[in-house]
């Protein structure tokens, strides 16, 4: 049994933070929990009036579950997220037919301007998450309910708020830091906060969350944020600030919690292995029979093989650069890239007639699971943070702090899982020279985490943007971050400022 959430209204799009805060929770999102593959199917007309909310433990549960529900919406996992977090890298490009959604190419070539609507969509998605978290953090403390559960709910909200702010600060740099629901119109419009202060708040939220969240859950709640998720996310946030001693401490804590690499790399991304031993955090998704609106994840749909029943739209496809990055014989190449003309391990033939030569296999859902009238691959969870990432962060931090022995141990665990029983491929890395080992770790991150929306920001925080992305038009002191949406600047009365170069 698995914790899953239901979102019974379609996503509000193109809503500024100010307008969203004025709308309120109960007029926008109302959902319910259930066991695996069976949600409580509450129709929209059954929504609870906002005036009667924030009174009971059940209200707190609905509000926290609404946070999880919003994480899988279009702005968080589909076009906006993939464009902002993936297509700018060297591992992914637009895909689909050349004439389809050409604006993707503006981000691939770093020619996008601040008026592109997708910038607004991603911004909106993150602030919708943050608003839902702030509503919980502002209102749940006053509810009379089980105090242990209350503390956990607040910790879950802090985790998701930190995750959303991390996505924002990576994408835009300085961003408005809102920690409470505005009380009146004078609090809606606030300036950008410097990214160092945003990072400080992210780390505080994750520290407080990790102190409360359980290491594991029972079957019904599987998929909620855990102590390991908070510690692992904190490690990643620290990595982006080059706090390597802190990264080492945090990743060592996660390693001590009992996570393990899932034995089969390819199978670890299939729907029947969601929330496995390697998963620190996944965005939960589900196909709910009879409720297409609630089965709203488009993560797999927008990336699936185009022109195939049960496939998808064919966007965010692997590049020849990624195809060539894998070492000879590395099984992760075949498990990451879905090739035109191949037959998958699950028996699906990818016709030679499909438009693109390659697709993202990590988002693939077997075609037999498609249900007419629903999004293709609506069942597919989004892997946000895996133990392999933790081991590679541990390796990088160990190397940067002068412990090559530990760095090699963590790095080679990832390589050993990838090669499996075939010892003729992917030999252990043996160099202890810091620069060479750093290069090996960077390379391992590229192939292990390929098509998981890490590569673009990974390269930038490593200081290699011009080296890796320069051929695509990337320019230093400009393209480390994306432009602030022009519509947000206009609506703020120019209180918000634009990033340099845009």
**What pLDDT, on a 0 to 100 scale, did the predictor assign at position 52?**
86
Residue found under tokens 């080492």: 248
Domain identity same for 175 and 61: yes
Give the span between the Cα atoms of 109 and 304, in whole angstroms.
23
Domain identity same for 278 and 422: yes
**What pLDDT, on a 0 to 100 scale, did the predictor assign at position 184?**
87
In Å, what is the CA distance from 451 to each residue of 39, 78, 402?
Answer: 30, 13, 30
Domain identity same for 182 and 248: no
**What pLDDT, on a 0 to 100 scale, did the predictor assign at position 337?**
98
Strands (E), 348-493: 358-360, 382-386
State the pLDDT confidence band at 186, using cuts at 50, 70 and 90: confident
**What pLDDT, on a 0 to 100 scale, did the predictor assign at position 48?**
60
Domain identity same for 208 and 250: no
pTM value? 0.92
Structural domain tally of the chain? 2
Average pLDDT over residues 411-438: 98
Domain identity same for 380 and 437: yes
**337 strand-pairing partners:** 360
Average pLDDT over residues 115-123: 98
Give the number of other Cβ atoms within 10 Å of residue 376's Cβ. Answer: 24
Domain identity same for 445 and 494: no
**279 strand-pairing partners:** 386
Q: Around 134, how many Cα atoms within 13 Å sit in the side-chain half-sphere?
A: 20
Domain identity same for 208 and 344: no
Domain identity same for 176 and 69: yes
Average pLDDT over residues 293-302: 95
Give the span between the Cα atoms of 465 and 480, in whole angstroms.
8
Q: Closest Cα to residue 310, out of 242, 386, 364?
A: 364
Confidence check: pLDDT of 56 > 60: yes
Confidence check: pLDDT of 447 > 90: yes
The answer to whether residue 454 is domain-embedded is yes
The answer to whether residue 110 is domain-embedded is yes
Give the span between the Cα atoms of 327 and 331, in whole angstroms.
9
In Å, what is the CA distance from 338 to each residue of 200, 213, 333?
Answer: 40, 37, 9
State the pLDDT confidence band at 291, using cuts at 50, 70 and 90: very high
The answer to whether residue 357 is domain-embedded is yes
Residue 95 in contact with residue 325, Cβ under 8 Å? no
Confidence check: pLDDT of 46 > 80: no
**What pLDDT, on a 0 to 100 scale, did the predictor assign at position 3?**
52
The answer to whether residue 204 is domain-embedded is yes
State the pLDDT confidence band at 16, using cuts at 50, 70 and 90: very low
State the pLDDT confidence band at 185, using cuts at 50, 70 and 90: confident
**What pLDDT, on a 0 to 100 scale, did the predictor assign at position 488?**
97
Confidence check: pLDDT of 217 > 90: yes
Q: Which domain holds residue 421?
A: 244-367+376-462
Q: Return the minimum-mean-pLDDT range out of 24-28, 146-150, 481-485.
A: 24-28
The answer to whether residue 230 is domain-embedded is no
Residue 20 in contact with residue 29, Cβ under 8 Å? no
Q: What percent of the chain has pLDDT over 90?
A: 89
DSSP string over 115-148:
T-HHHHHHHHHHHHHHHHHHHHHHHGGGS-S-HH
Domain identity same for 410 and 308: yes
The answer to whether residue 496 is domain-embedded is yes
Domain identity same for 200 and 258: no
Domain identity same for 266 and 414: yes
Confidence check: pLDDT of 482 > 60: yes
For residue 83, is it left (φ>0), alpha (ψ between -120 and 50) or beta?
Answer: alpha
Domain identity same for 396 and 491: no
The answer to whether residue 262 is domain-embedded is yes
Average pLDDT over residues 148-154: 98
State the pLDDT confidence band at 112, using cuts at 50, 70 and 90: very high
**Could you tell me the CATH number of the domain that includes residue 293?**
1.25.40.390
Residue 85 in contact with residue 171, Cβ under 8 Å? yes
Residue found under tokens 């995750």: 163
Express each pLDDT in 342-371 by its tens digit.
Answer: 999 999 999 999 999 999 999 999 999 999
Computed over every residue of the chain, the mean pLDDT equals: 91
> Tokens standing for 111?
């020619």
Give the span between the Cα atoms of 214 and 252, in whole angstroms.
17
In Å, what is the CA distance from 483 to each residue of 120, 176, 297, 463?
Answer: 10, 14, 26, 19
Confidence check: pLDDT of 44 > 70: no
Give the span between the Cα atoms of 118 and 101, in whole angstroms.
11
Express each pLDDT in 222-247 by its tens digit.
Answer: 999 999 999 999 999 999 999 999 99
> Tokens standing for 100?
């389809």
């Amino acid at each position: 049994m698995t914790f899953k959430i239901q979102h019974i209204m379609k996503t509000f799009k193109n809503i500024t933070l100010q307008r969203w805060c004025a709308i309120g929770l109960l007029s926008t999102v109302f959902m319910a929990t259930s066991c695996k593959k069976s949600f409580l199917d509450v129709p929209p007309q059954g929504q609870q009036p906002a005036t009667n909310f924030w009174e009971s433990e059940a209200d707190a549960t609905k509000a926290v579950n609404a946070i999880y529900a919003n994480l899988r919406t279009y702005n968080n996992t589909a076009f906006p997220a993939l464009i902002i977090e993936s297509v700018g890298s060297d591992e992914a490009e637009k895909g689909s037919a050349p004439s389809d959604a050409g604006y993707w190419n503006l981000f691939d070539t770093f020619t996008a301007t601040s008026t592109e609507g997708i910038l607004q969509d991603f911004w909106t998605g993150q602030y919708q998450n943050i608003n839902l978290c702030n509503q919980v953090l502002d209102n749940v403390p006053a509810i009379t309910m089980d105090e242990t559960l209350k503390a956990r709910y607040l910790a879950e909200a802090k985790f998701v708020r930190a995750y959303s702010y991390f996505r924002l600060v990576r994408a835009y740099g300085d961003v408005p830091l809102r920690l409470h629901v505005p009380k009146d119109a004078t609090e809606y419009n606030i300036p950008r906060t410097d990214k160092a202060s945003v990072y400080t708040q992210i780390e505080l939220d994750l520290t407080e969350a990790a102190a409360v969240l359980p290491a594991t859950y029972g079957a019904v709640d599987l998929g909620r944020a855990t102590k390991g998720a908070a510690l692992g996310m904190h490690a990643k946030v620290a990595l982006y600030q080059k706090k390597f001693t802190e990264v080492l401490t945090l990743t060592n804590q996660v390693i001590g919690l009992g996570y393990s690499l899932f034995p089969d790399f390819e199978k670890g991304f299939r729907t029947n292995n969601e929330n496995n031993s390697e998963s620190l955090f996944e965005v939960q998704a589900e196909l709910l029979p009879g409720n297409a609106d609630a089965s709203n994840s488009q993560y797999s749909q927008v990336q699936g093989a185009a022109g195939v029943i049960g496939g998808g739209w064919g966007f965010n496809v692997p590049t020849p650069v990624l195809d060539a990055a894998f070492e000879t014989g590395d099984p992760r190449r075949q498990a990451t890239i879905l090739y035109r003309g191949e037959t998958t391990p699950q028996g699906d033939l990818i016709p030679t007639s499909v438009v693109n030569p390659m697709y993202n296999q990590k988002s693939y859902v077997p075609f037999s699971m498609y249900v007419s009238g629903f999004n293709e691959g609506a069942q597919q969870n989004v892997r946000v943070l895996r133990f392999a990432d933790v081991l590679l962060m541990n390796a990088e931090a160990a190397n940067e702090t002068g412990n090559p022995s530990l760095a090699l141990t963590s790095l080679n665990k990832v390589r050993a899982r990838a090669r499996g029983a075939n010892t003729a491929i992917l030999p252990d890395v043996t160099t202890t020279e810091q620069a060479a080992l750093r290069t090996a770790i960077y390379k391992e991150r590229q192939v292990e985490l390929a098509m998981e929306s890490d590569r673009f920001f990974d390269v930038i925080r490593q200081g290699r943007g011009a080296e890796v992305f320069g051929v695509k038009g990337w320019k230093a002191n400009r393209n480390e971050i994306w432009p602030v949406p022009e519509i947000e600047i206009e609506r703020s009365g120019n209180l918000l400022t634009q990033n340099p170069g845009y």
